[in-house]
């Protein structure tokens, strides 16, 4: 709903007005989320570099965590930029304006909701190989992104644009839970920090890479190159990593 409203308001208020409104909403949310003061907790602090080294050693040595973090890096760099580059794709490939762009964002958001619902259904179904689901979601993500990038008119793009978000939601949600449940208690925070960095650091980098590539060869082709890269990485892990294929959330505890 938010993308639809933004698309309608961008005409009378402009991009600057919407950005000011977004900043105001963020400030209000920050003020509303203030927590009451807590008493100080005295803890024994481990050396930062030693703590970092131990976390990195765990991530690199664990056969499941290693590949899930690596795939998250690849997905954030080569598959995820579709959302941030959607305005450029809508303008250059589809030839549409702000209102149609809001429709694309709205359908994409609906895909995220559908992906979350699918993840919940899979979690409650008793199916014990969530690692396989994660890999298949990334494979499907690459395939549907190729399909989206080939579109040159609005209606087919609207029909397809939800599916990359479905796949992203399933991949990110399930892989994050596996990493979290698999890590030992004393390393869980560090494992999740590395996983979070694979998204927060590499997604902006991916926007730069795919955006620059789009300037050189066209945004549609750039998205296809990214999609193929992500697809190849996911298929490689699917074929050659039995540890990831067979892991489940319930079996992850304790590795």
Measured over the CA atoms of residue 239, residue 245, residue 246 and residue 251, the dihedral's sign is positive
Note the pLDDT of residue 123: 77
Predicted pLDDT at 23: 77
Mean pLDDT of 118-130: 81
Q: What percent of the chain has pLDDT over 70?
A: 84
Domain residue spans of the chain: 2-10+62-249
CB of 109 closer than 8 Å to CB of 157: no
Q: Which pLDDT tens digit goes with each residue over 36-90?
A: 666 665 556 678 888 899 999 999 999 999 999 999 999 999 999 999 999 999 9
Q: How far is CA 39 from CA 31, 36, 42, in A?
A: 21, 10, 10
The whole model's pTM is what? Answer: 0.82
Helix axes 162-182, 98-124, angle to 10 degrees: 40
Between these two residues, 122 and 113, which has the higher pLDDT value?
113
CATH class of 2-10+62-249: mainly alpha
Provide CB contacts within 8 A for 184, sequence distance 6+. 58, 254, 255
Ramachandran angles phi, psi of 22, nearest 5°: -65, -40
Assess whether pLDDT exceeds 70 at residue 250: no
**CA-CA distance, 203 to 84, in Å (whole number)?**
10
pLDDT tens column, 137-147: 999 999 999 99
């Amino acid at each position: 709903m938010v993308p639809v409203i933004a698309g309608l308001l961008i005409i009378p208020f402009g991009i600057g007005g919407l950005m000011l409104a977004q900043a105001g909403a963020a400030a209000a949310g920050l003020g509303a989320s203030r927590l009451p003061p807590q008493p100080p907790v005295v803890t024994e602090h481990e050396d930062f570099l030693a703590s970092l080294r131990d976390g990195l050693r765990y991530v690199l040595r664990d056969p499941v965590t290693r590949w899930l973090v690596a795939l998250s890096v690849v997905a954030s760099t080569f598959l995820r930029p579709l959302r941030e580059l959607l305005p450029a794709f809508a303008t250059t490939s589809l030839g549409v304006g702000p209102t149609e762009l809001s429709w694309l964002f709205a359908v994409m958001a609906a895909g995220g909701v559908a992906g979350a619902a699918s993840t919940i259904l899979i979690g409650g179904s008793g199916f014990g190989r969530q690692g396989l689901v994660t890999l298949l979601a990334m494979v499907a993500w690459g395939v549907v992104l190729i399909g989206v990038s080939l579109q040159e008119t609005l209606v087919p793009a609207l029909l397809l644009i939800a599916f990359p978000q479905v796949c992203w939601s399933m991949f990110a949600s399930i892989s994050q839970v596996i990493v979290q449940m698999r890590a030992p208690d004393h390393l869980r925070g560090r494992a999740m920090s590395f996983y979070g960095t694979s998204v927060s650091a590499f997604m902006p980098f991916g926007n730069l890479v795919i955006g620059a590539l789009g300037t050189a060869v066209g945004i549609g082709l750039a998205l296809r190159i990214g999609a193929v890269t992500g697809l190849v990485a996911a298929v490689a892990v699917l074929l050659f990593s039995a540890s990831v294929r067979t892991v489940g959330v319930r079996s992850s505890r304790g590795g």
